[in-house]
């Protein structure tokens, strides 16, 4: 792995102070500045695409096409949407004024929060850093970006490029690990955006509470797939296989486990095996389209999670390469470790249920997931699952695609997180909608003023 150049911790306070001074100077307020920074971020990705794809390959064994789609193209699409709607999304919005305030006009004025901290994970190290940072910039904030030290090659590349392309007085990138992140969290920010696991999410929230700083937590959890007996099994298997083994399963909204109706369980397994072979051949180890596990620690954790379950498909591991084959597990004990923690890897447990309602009960017996997937041809089944479950987001008859729609806020609920972003939501997240009421002075009705009398009291009762 490429080593990161850690930012000296004694410089972190001065970095934040510089960004706060820039924010207070008003530099980030004009839309022209925000537009320029977004355009420069897009240029950075386009002009250095090959370097980013190589860094993603070093860190995650990520195939070039996959890296382009999930990390480069996704961010470019977000930026394009923000540039297209920048004026509209930052325009004050008129709202009605009640009778008691007249003569008056009321509006909501979007204003930036100040200095924003974005802490990104290692699994999509470009997308999950730059997409929220772009929203914070479009909203008019200054930003500290903290990439993960685990995806070291990508972090180092971002550390070199960000100050070259973006305004260094307003946008800073801090490299390093736990020590640097801990020091950053001791600083006062106006919003903290964290993507990662719940354990660290609690640390972030506790640190933010000391300054009453609002937080957005994009966490994970065990995102279930419910496969009803009315589902198109061939299509279902292909879409589950794609969502599960993209990035070798290292995706926060990857299908974590499948609850399949007992009547179609064997056919589903057959179709899932066929889909895996169609995607990666008879030997996924040799496939140019299949990635690797990010670190030895995560590799060892995943190998340990397989213990005690029956391997129906896959199971091969190669420690020197951190390779774990696309693996399907059956006869899984619901109380086993693999069913208690987020897998975040290419292992897919299959459990059978007697009905879609039984699957709903199983899901509801656990923490609210970040994503939920239901496959059914019977609309009544789909409606029942949607009505009876709570999750951060849902794709019906598909996996993960709700994440790609900029008109749908992406985020969790309960243990899977708080707050949502993407598109307009990704800008609004980093703003305060300031209520402004402006009264005219040509008229000044005496009704609200003392002394009060019975006539005024009657009028109040009618208009209030």
Please, what is the end-to-end C-alpha distance for the chain in angstroms?
Answer: 67
With CA atoms as reference, report the closest residue to 71 among 247, 245, 333. Answer: 247
With CA atoms as reference, report the closest residue to 68 among 39, 38, 48. Answer: 48
Q: Is the dihedral of CA 49, 52, 56, 58 positive or negative?
A: positive
Tokens of 392: 């951060």
252 is catalytic: yes
Instruction: Please give the distance of CA 79 from its chain centroid, rounded to a whole number.
Output: 16
175 is catalytic: no
Choose the catalytic residue: 149, 218, 342, 424. 218
Strand positions, DSSP E, 322-363: 323-324, 327-330, 347-353
- The total number of residues shown for the chain amounts to 464
C-alpha distances out from residue 25 to 28, 98, 135, Å: 8, 36, 20
Q: What is the CA radius of gyration of the chain?
A: 25
Choose the catalytic residue: 149, 183, 252, 342. 252
With CA atoms as reference, report the closest residue to 192 among 259, 104, 113. Answer: 113
Q: Is the dihedral of CA 258, 418, 425, 344 positive or negative?
A: negative
Catalytic residues: 218, 252
């Amino acid at each position: 792995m490429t080593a990161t150049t850690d930012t000296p911790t004694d410089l972190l306070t001065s970095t934040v102070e510089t960004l706060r001074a820039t924010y207070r100077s008003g530099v980030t307020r004009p839309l022209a500045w925000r537009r320029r920074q977004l355009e420069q971020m897009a240029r950075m990705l386009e002009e250095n695409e090959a370097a980013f794809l190589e860094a993603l390959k070093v860190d995650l064994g990520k195939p070039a096409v996959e890296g382009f789609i999930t990390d480069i193209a996704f961010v470019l699409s977000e930026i394009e949407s923000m540039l297209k709607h920048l004026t509209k999304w930052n325009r004050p919005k008129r709202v009605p004024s009640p009778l008691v305030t007249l003569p008056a006009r009321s509006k909501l004025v979007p204003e930036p929060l100040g200095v924003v901290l974005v802490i990104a994970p290692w699994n999509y190290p470009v997308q999950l850093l730059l997409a929220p940072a772009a929203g914070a910039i479009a909203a008019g904030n200054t930003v500290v970006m903290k990439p993960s030290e685990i995806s070291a090659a990508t972090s180092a590349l971002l550390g070199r490029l960000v100050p070259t392309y973006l305004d260094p007085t307003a946008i800073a990138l801090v490299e390093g690990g736990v020590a640097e992140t801990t020091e950053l969290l001791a600083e006062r920010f106006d919003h903290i955006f964290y993507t990662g696991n719940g354990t660290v999410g609690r640390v972030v929230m506790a640190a933010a509470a000391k300054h009453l700083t609002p937080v957005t937590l994009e966490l994970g959890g065990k995102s279930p797939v419910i496969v009803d007996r009315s589902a198109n099994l061939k299509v279902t298997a292909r879409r589950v296989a794609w969502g599960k083994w993209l990035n070798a399963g290292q995706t926060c909204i990857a299908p974590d486990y499948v609850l399949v109706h007992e009547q179609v369980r064997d056919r589903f397994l057959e179709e899932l095996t066929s889909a895996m072979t169609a995607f990666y051949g008879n030997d996924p180890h040799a496939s140019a389209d299949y990635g690797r596990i990010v670190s030895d620690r995560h590799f060892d954790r995943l190998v340990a999670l397989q213990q005690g379950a029956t391997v129906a498909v896959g199971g091969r591991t190669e420690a020197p390469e951190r390779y774990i084959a696309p693996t399907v597990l059956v006869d899984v004990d619901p109380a086993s470790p693999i069913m208690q923690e987020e897998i975040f890897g290419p292992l897919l447990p299959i459990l059978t249920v007697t009905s879609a309602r039984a699957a709903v009960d199983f899901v509801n017996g656990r923490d609210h997931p970040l994503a939920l997937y239901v496959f059914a041809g019977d609309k009544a089944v789909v409606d029942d699952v949607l009505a009876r479950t709570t999750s951060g987001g849902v794709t019906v008859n598909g996996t993960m695609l709700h994440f790609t729609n900029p008109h749908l806020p992406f985020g969790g609920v309960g243990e899977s997180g708080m707050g949502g972003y993407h598109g307009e939501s990704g800008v609004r997240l980093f703003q305060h909608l300031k209520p402004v009421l402006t009264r005219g002075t040509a008229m000044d009705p005496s009704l609200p003023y003392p002394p009060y009398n019975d006539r005024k009291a009657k009028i109040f009762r009618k208009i209030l």
